[in-house]
């Protein structure tokens, strides 16, 4: 069997490109400003940003690929490889830590079957992900919900006042 | 987001949060209009732009994002008729640990922000504005987008606002998980699509050279919302709510070891630390005593509960005399907190009781700053990581004999030696925790 190319840029649809053009239209003064919106658009669509994505966005905005790659490697949100379908981002910072977020993160890892002590530094690398590709769990810095600590951003939803004992049941609702 | 208590505490005065706390209040434009929405914009467009700027000055509104710069002064740097394009960028990149007020406004009352923004744009001759929302608020971005569309359909933004001939386009721009983008020049670089390294000063103010090198106002979400209320109430009435030099209300975000953490909107200077913790927030957890608070977001210097500050006060005969000020009696406003060596910052108050280990708490913050340093300046990039490594080893039982001194030396060599205020923000916790709780750090030395 011939190995198929998996360049993300080869899978772009007309609709995807139309949405990208609309985003660029939000920046009448400089289309370079659309770099972050296009990276979000790309990652939301493909799950991560590969080399072809970096090149495609750069070409779209009349930039060189390094102008885009240096953003992917700077911002913790972007990654160069696939993460789980549901990403569980547990807040690590002070108010959440005081309310037990380290314990909560361990319980999330246990509930989805990940090593709670795996090292993860972000910056392009996907967070620890279950072999079935369903879940990733990571610590993130302050999610700005310190009054209802500890919190986690699960996909797009914020879970608040999480009790370690409730984590397993919470994960079941995601399966 | 926990709902606000339906009945405000007697110490509160809800201006920004007046509607949000009403049962059934929704973020759509019909609800907003039914609660007097866009009436202040209608009033503002009958005023001269300079009158609006003067009102914001007279209201003594200080920025609510952390730096506390007088908002009217900032606006005053913009010359209305300089022939240049002007921009406003709303800083909705709320990420200072301990701070969570803008989250409520964005999710629950986006039109309040858009109305304040339209008034601000009218006052400064601005026709293009961006609302920079951190991407960890995905719903907020959608809600604010929708509100922009609603407001445009009703003619409150867009072309020819309320028949005045004034145009304003507003767009949402999402961040990508970097705390540094809350620094205003970093935010502008980010919005320009570049690596968000803070800009070298001078120029000190984006109002001189900002977005696309044009005069730009960067204001926090809450600050822009206050503009609406300054127009609604009048500058004098608004200023009266606060103290001289710090007008209006301030949204205090209380987290940590109190019975009722949450959002409390309180006239500037109206409560002491004692009143905030033991009255407004219902006190500490049973059997606990107060150890410390961080009064203005994690970068603000920590205050120890048994500290007594040496301050100056005016005697009846007008002479300045020394006065001992116990920590619990410190008033939570900009000038008082500054006089005792810390800051009101973003008004994120993190409360710690006697169960808390200060080496552990500082290590948590040091890890935050090490993660978030943008890496542009060597003292901050290297120093924030060193501080984090030192407190980690102290916590893990591997502390060395001179670690307290090491930490202090690292922090002292970052503050004042970096392009942006992150250098101070990451040093102040270490400097203040060490100064206030030396015995805990000495215990963790080898």
Nearest to A148 among B1, B85, B169 (CB): B1
Interface test with B, best of A35, A94, A154, A155 (most B CBs within 10 A): A94
Cβ within 8 Å, pair A33-B191: yes
Count the domains in chain B.
3
Helical (H) or strand (E) element with B85:
none
Which residue in B has a C-alpha nearest to residue A27's C-alpha? Answer: B171
Range of the domain at B409: 358-443
pLDDT tens-digit profile of B25-70?
999 999 999 999 999 999 999 999 999 999 999 999 999 998 999 9
pLDDT at B314: 85
Q: How far apart are CA B343 and CA B298, in angstroms?
A: 11
pLDDT in tens, B140-182: 999 999 999 999 999 999 999 999 999 999 999 999 999 999 9
How high is the pLDDT of residue B5? 77
Cβ contact (<8 Å) for B352 and A98?
Answer: yes
- Least CB–CB distance from B192: residue in A33, A89, A140: A33
The reported pLDDT for the residue numbered B116 is 98
Residues B99 and B191 in one domain: yes
pLDDT score at A5: 65
Give the domain A86-172 fold.
Glutaredoxin (3.40.30)
Which stretches in chain B have pLDDT values below 70?
A: none
Judge if B227 and B255 occupy the same domain: no
Looking at the domain assignment, is residue B128 inside a domain?
A: yes
Assess if residue B16 is contained within a domain: no
pLDDT of B446 = 81
What pLDDT is stored for residue B313 in this prediction? Answer: 84
Instruction: Specify whether B45 is located in the same domain as B58.
Output: yes
Distances in Å between the Cα of A42 and the Cα atoms of A46, A135, B356 are 6, 20, 43
Cross-chain Cβ contact A40/B94 below 8 Å:
no
- Predicted local distance difference test score (pLDDT) of residue B3: 74
Rounded to a whole number of angstroms, the distance from the CA of A3 to the nearest CA of chain B is 34
Interface of A with B (CB under 8 A): 26-30, 32-37, 39-40, 61, 67, 70-71, 74-78, 89, 92-95, 97-98, 140-149, 153, 156, 158, 160-161
Whole-number pLDDT of residue A137: 97
Q: Complex ipTM, two decimals?
A: 0.96
Q: What are phi and psi of A126, to 5 degrees?
A: -70, 145
Domain boundaries, chain A: 8-72, 86-172
Contacts of B139 in chain A (CB under 8 A): 156
Same domain, B311 and B341: yes
Quick check: A83 pLDDT over 60? Answer: yes
Note whether residue B137 is domain-resident. Answer: yes
The answer to whether residues B386 and B362 touch, using CB atoms and an 8 Å cutoff, is no
**What class, spelled out in words, does domain A8-72 have in CATH?**
mainly alpha
Chain centroid to CA B421: how far?
Answer: 14
Which of B335, B353, B371 is where one domain is finished?
B353
CB contact under 8 A, B102 and A36: no
pTM greater than 0.80 (yes/no): yes
Put simply, the answer to whether A98 touches B254 (Cβ < 8 Å) is no
Which token pair is B140?
Answer: 């907020």
Quick one: pLDDT band at residue A3, thresholds 50, 70, 90?
Answer: low
Report how many helices (DSSP H) and strands (DSSP E) chain B contains, helices first. 17, 11
Judged by CB atoms closer than 8 Å, whether chains meet at A147 and B85 is answered as no
Q: For the CA atoms of B191, B194, B195, B197, what is the dihedral angle to 10 degrees?
A: -70
Q: What are the pLDDT digits (tens) for A129-146? A: 999 999 999 999 999 999
Of the three residues B196, B218, B240, the one that is the final residue of a domain is B240
Residues of A within 8 A of B85 (CB-CB) are: 29
A–B interface: beta-carbon pairs under 8 A: 146
Alpha-carbon gap, residue B89 to B140, rounded angstroms? 16
Residue B6 is assigned to a structural domain of this protein: no
Q: Which helix (H) or strand (E) holds A100?
A: none
pLDDT over 80 (residue A120): no
Query: Does B56 share its domain with B156?
Result: yes
Considering the domain architecture, whether residues B54 and B153 belong to the same structural domain is answered as yes
The length of chain A, given as a count of residues: 175
DSSP 3-state assignment of B31?
helix
pLDDT at position A2 is 55
Flag whether pLDDT at A1 surpasses 60: no
């Amino acid at each position: 069997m011939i190995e198929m190319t998996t360049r993300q840029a080869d899978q772009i649809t007309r609709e995807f490109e139309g949405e990208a053009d609309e985003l660029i239209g939000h920046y009448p003064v400089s289309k370079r400003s659309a770099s972050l919106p296009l990276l979000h658009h790309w990652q939301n669509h493909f799950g991560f940003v590969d080399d072809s994505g970096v090149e495609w966005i750069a070409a779209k905005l009349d930039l060189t690929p390094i102008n885009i790659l240096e953003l992917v490697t700077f911002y913790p949100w972007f990654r160069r490889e696939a993460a789980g379908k549901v990403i569980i981002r547990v807040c690590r910072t002070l108010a959440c830590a005081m309310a037990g977020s380290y314990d909560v993160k361990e319980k999330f890892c246990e509930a989805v079957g990940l090593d709670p002590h795996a090292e993860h530094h972000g910056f392009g690398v996907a967070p620890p992900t279950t072999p079935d590709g369903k879940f990733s769990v990571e610590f993130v810095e302050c999610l700005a919900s310190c009054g209802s600590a500890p919190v986690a951003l699960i996909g797009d939803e914020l879970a608040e006042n999480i009790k370690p004992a409730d984590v397993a049941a919470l994960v079941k609702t995601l399966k | 987001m926990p709902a606000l208590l339906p009945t405000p505490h007697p110490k509160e005065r809800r201006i920004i949060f007046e509607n949000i706390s009403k049962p059934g209040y929704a973020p759509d434009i019909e609800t907003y209009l039914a609660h007097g929405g866009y009436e202040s914009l209608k009033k503002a467009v009958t005023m001269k732009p300079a009158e609006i700027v003067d009102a914001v000055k007279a209201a003594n509104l200080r920025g609510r994002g952390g730096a506390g710069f007088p908002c009217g002064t900032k606006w005053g740097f913009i010359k209305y008729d300089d022939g240049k394009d002007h921009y406003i960028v709303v800083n909705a990149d709320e990420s200072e640990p301990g701070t969570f007020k803008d989250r409520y406004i964005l999710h629950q009352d986006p039109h309040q922000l858009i109305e304040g923004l339209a008034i601000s744009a009218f006052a400064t001759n601005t026709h293009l504005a961006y609302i920079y929302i951190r991407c960890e608020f995905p719903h907020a971005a959608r809600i604010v987008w929708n509100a922009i569309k609603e407001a445009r359909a009703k003619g409150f933004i867009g072309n020819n606002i309320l028949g005045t001939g004034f145009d304003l386009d507003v767009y949402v721009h999402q961040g990508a998980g970097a705390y540094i983008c809350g620094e205003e020049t970093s935010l502008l670089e980010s919005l320009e699509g570049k690596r968000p390294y803070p800009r070298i000063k001078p120029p000190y103010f984006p109002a001189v050279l900002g977005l696309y090198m044009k005069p730009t106002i960067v204001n926090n979400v809450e600050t822009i919302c206050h503009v609406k209320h300054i127009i609604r109430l009048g500058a004098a009435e608004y200023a009266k709510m606060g103290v001289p030099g710090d007008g209006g209300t301030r949204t205090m975000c209380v987290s940590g070891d109190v019975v009722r953490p949450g959002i409390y909107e309180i006239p500037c200077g109206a409560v002491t630390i004692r009143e905030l913790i033991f009255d407004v927030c219902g006190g500490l957890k049973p059997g606990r005593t107060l150890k410390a608070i961080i009064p203005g977001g994690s970068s603000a210097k920590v205050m120890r509960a048994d500290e007594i500050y040496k301050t100056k006060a005016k005697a009846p005969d007008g002479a300045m005399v020394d006065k001992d000020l116990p920590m619990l009696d410190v008033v939570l406003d900009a000038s008082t907190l500054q006089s005792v060596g810390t800051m009101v910052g973003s008004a994120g108050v993190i409360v710690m009781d006697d169960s808390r280990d200060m080496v552990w708490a500082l290590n948590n913050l040091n890890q935050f700053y090490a993660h978030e340093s943008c890496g542009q300046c060597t003292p901050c990039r290297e120093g924030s990581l060193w501080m984090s490594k030192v407190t980690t080893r102290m916590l893990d039982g591997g502390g060395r004999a001179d670690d307290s001194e090491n930490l202090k030396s690292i922090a002292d060599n970052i503050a004042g030696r970096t392009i942006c205020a992150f250098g101070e923000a990451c040093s102040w916790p270490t400097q203040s925790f060490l100064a206030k709780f030396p015995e805990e750090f000495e215990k963790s030395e080898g």
